[in-house]
């Protein structure tokens, strides 16, 4: 999970990598012999690894890896409420 400062740093790179990947053809990918895609993707992968220490294998899943999207912690059991708009806790039911 990414904190908001981490997300603010990575989201522009992720968006650029996603957009660039959409515009590149398979011929480009084969010619450049890059497995995952593009210079923007490589830049994102390097920055993601620098911040998290983890390999960004499939960047599309990272759109959901923000702590802020999990909602605040439940005041009874301290587990995340799962969404920012949750009206009750799915874990303890309160
Ligand atoms: Zn709870």
pLDDT tens readout for residues 3-19: 889 999 988 988 888 78
Look at residue 57 and tell me if it is in a domain. Answer: yes
Q: What is the pTM of this model?
A: 0.56
Residue 65's domain comprises 4-70
**Dist. CA 67 → ligand 1 center (Å):** 17
| Across 63-81, average pLDDT | 87
Exposed, middle or buried: residue 21 (CB in 10 Å: 0-12, 13-18, 19+)?
middle
Total number of domains in the chain = 1
Per cent of the chain over pLDDT 90 is 18
Q: Please list the residues that pair with 66 across neighbouring strands.
A: 2
- Looking at the predicted structure, is the pLDDT value of residue 68 above 60? yes
- Give the separation between CA 18 and CA 12, rounded to whole angstroms: 10
Residue 18 falls inside a structural domain: yes
Q: Is residue 78 situated within a structural domain?
A: no
- Residues, Cβ < 5 Å to ion ligand 1: 74, 76-77, 89, 91-92
Residue 76: predicted pLDDT: 96
Judge whether 93 lies within some domain.
no
For residue 78, the CA-to-ligand 1 centroid distance in Å is 6
Going from the Cα of 73 to the center of ligand 1, the distance in angstroms, rounded, reads 8
CA distance 1 to 54: 11
């Amino acid at each position: 999970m990414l904190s908001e400062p981490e997300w603010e740093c990575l989201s522009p790179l992720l968006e650029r990598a996603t957009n660039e990947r959409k515009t590149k053809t398979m011929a480009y990918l084969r010619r450049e012999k890059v497995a995952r895609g593009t210079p923007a993707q490589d830049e994102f992968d390097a920055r993601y690894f620098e911040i998290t220490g983890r390999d960004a294998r499939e960047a599309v899943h990272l759109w959901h890896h923000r702590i802020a999207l999990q909602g605040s912690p439940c005041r009874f059991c301290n587990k995340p409420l799962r969404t920012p708009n949750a009206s009750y806790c799915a874990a303890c039911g309160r």
